[in-house]
Amino acid sequence: MTEVTTENFDQEVVKSPQPVLVDFWGPQCGPCLALMPQVETLSEKFEGRVKIAKVEAPKSRRLCLNLKVMGLPTFLLFKEGKEVNRLTGNVTMRLIEEALKKMLGPGD
């Protein structure tokens, strides 16, 4: 899993040749911490097909503002440098997996 900040967001996400799932989390966010081990499992499951990136929101406030991330947890899905989906609030692993499969398309 890749740690992303305001400084390396363009390089790691926008310019990534692979689709990217960006997990915006915070150390005071109970649901974020509960999802974290499952998100790490996803990075193994989708290895080679999707890059999984994490942003510690309190340390990257400018990035959160630029992307209009207003609550945690928030998951943004990027493909070819563009945001293609957003999951926020009551997010489950099932929702994340379904969004990833939809983004990848059939046969992936």
Residues taking part in catalysis = 29, 32
- Asked if residue 96 lies in contact with residue 46, where contact means CB atoms within 8 angstroms, the answer is no
Q: Residue 21 and residue 86: Cα distance in Å, rounded?
A: 10
Number of Cβ within a 10 Å radius of residue 84: 13
Distance CA 82, CA 30 (A): 29
How far apart (Å, rounded) are the C-alpha atoms in residues 91 and 104? 19
